[in-house]
Amino acid sequence: MTDSQIIVLATPLFLLLIAVEFAVGLARRRNTYVTADTLNSIGLGIMSQVLNVFSKLLMVGVYALAFEMLAPHPLPQDAAWVWVVGLLVYDFCYYWHHRLGHTVAVLWAAHAVHHQSEEYNLSTALRQTSTGWLFGWIFYLPMAVAGFPPLVFGVVALVDLLYQYWVHTQQIGRLGWFDRWFCAPSNHRVHHAVNDKYLDKNYGGILIVWDRLFGSFIEEDDAEPCVYGTRTPLSSWNPLWANLHVYRDIAEDAWHARRWRDKLRVWVKPPGWRPADVAERFPKPAFDLAARRKYDPHRSRAAALVAGGLFGVLLVATSVFLWNAHLLSGLAQAGAAAGILAGLWVVGWVSERGVRWPASRQVAQPR
């Protein structure tokens, strides 16, 4: 069974848990869902999985090649300890991948997608990048050199990813001793916050121990509620733009920089760093948490129905595609993927701009 098929089988559970979280939020009068944001987050997850059909060949291929050529002592695939240690080693590598994803601009350009939602709920967990394959494979090559077989790598990577789904919620509070050892909802809420106090903390995937060891841990403080999103808001429901806008911003600064050294440094310096001459000629407003307003374009009920209906069709189409992708030719895969991505773009466009019916069928526009 392919990893894409496992994701398809897990999707009903993902959606069921989203429905449960939504119902709990309504019962507590603490609803954390906004329809357009939820469609955008799940849509970005769809986009990531569709493109993963093509990009995973790079990561798996490079890992397998490194394993074959560089591992002096391949570890036994049938030994239980190899799987347990492999998961721990993967989680350690993930910690540094994640941490550098917040401190190196070009890596942040990929990872920012996961942080763009200004809500925080289980749909946020599905909000994944489509460009992480560009550099992500680098961080896991030590596992290949250490001799962990490709199958072990693939399975523990999926386990690490699936574990992180449940921590994206505001409906679960602190969990006592569990919070001290593992990534848990309280710890991960901090990670998604843009407050000065919380910024760039709690990178752990399964274990929060790495953060405690390497000085990147901070506890959630009830006196300072988390504010979610990114410091440069996306302000769009366009899934293509969500994946590209940080790259565009970096490339724009690189283009305007006068010194060649700065043209290169802007890609590897921390996010937000700008060459002095660029910042002077093209100033940007400073981040102001107090002035922050959530992106919430006005749209009609008709637009919501069209976007939701089309999204439902795309969800089914994606499931069929992912289940059968390994059976399709390259051309058929590309055509199906292009159709799904185009549909996701339309959902975003409708969510932003709405639908205008003829005057005789105009629908009132409640907020």
| Gap between the Cα atoms of 117 and 192, Å rounded | 9
| Gap between the Cα atoms of 81 and 86, Å rounded | 8
- Can you give the residue ranges of every domain in the chain? 12-213, 239-291, 301-361
CB-CB neighbours of 360 under 10 Å: 5
Q: Is 75 helix (H, G, I), strand (E, B) or coil?
A: coil
User: What is the share, in percent, of the chain residues with pLDDT greater than 90?
Assistant: 89
**Which residues contact residue 170 at a Cβ distance below 8 angstroms, ignoring those fewer than 6 apart?**
25, 30, 32, 120, 121, 185, 189
Contact 351, 237 (CB under 8 A): yes
| Gap between the Cα atoms of 239 and 130, Å rounded | 10
Tell me the β-bridge partners of 228.
193
pLDDT in tens, 9-28: 999 999 999 999 999 999 99
Q: Is 269 helix (H, G, I), strand (E, B) or coil?
A: coil
**Alpha-helix runs per DSSP H in the chain:** 3-28, 35-70, 80-103, 105-115, 122-125, 141-146, 150-163, 177-181, 185-191, 209-213, 239-256, 260-268, 276-281, 301-324, 330-353
Q: Pick from 338, 336, 342, 345: which is nearest to 317 by CA?
A: 336
Q: Which two tokens stand for residue 250?
A: 């970096």
CB-CB neighbours of 365 under 10 Å: 12
Radius of gyration of the chain (CA): 21
pLDDT in tens, 53-82: 999 888 889 999 999 999 999 999 999 999
At 363, the pLDDT band (50, 70, 90 cuts) reads very low
Long-range contacts, 27-34 (Cβ 8 Å, 24+)? 28/171, 30/170, 30/171, 32/119, 32/120, 32/121, 32/169, 32/170, 32/171, 33/119, 33/121, 33/123, 34/119, 34/296
pLDDT at 356: 52
pLDDT in tens, 198-251: 999 999 999 999 999 999 999 999 999 999 999 999 999 999 999 999 999 999
pLDDT in tens, 280-305: 999 999 999 988 899 988 888 889 99
pLDDT in tens, 93-141: 999 999 999 999 999 999 999 999 999 999 999 999 999 999 999 999 9
pLDDT at 151: 96
Q: Is 256 helix (H, G, I), strand (E, B) or coil?
A: helix
| Gap between the Cα atoms of 363 and 361, Å rounded | 6
| Gap between the Cα atoms of 45 and 185, Å rounded | 20
Q: What is the mean pLDDT of the chain?
A: 94
On the CB side of 136, how many CA atoms lie within 13 Å of its CA?
Answer: 21
Contact 254, 266 (CB under 8 A): yes
| Gap between the Cα atoms of 124 and 165, Å rounded | 9
DSSP code for 129: -
pLDDT at 296: 86
pLDDT at 353: 84
Q: Which two tokens stand for residue 364?
A: 């009132």
* Residues 153-180, mean pLDDT to the nearest whole number: 97
Whether residue 357 is predicted with pLDDT greater than 70 in this model: the reply is no
Whether residue 364 is predicted with pLDDT greater than 50 in this model: the reply is no
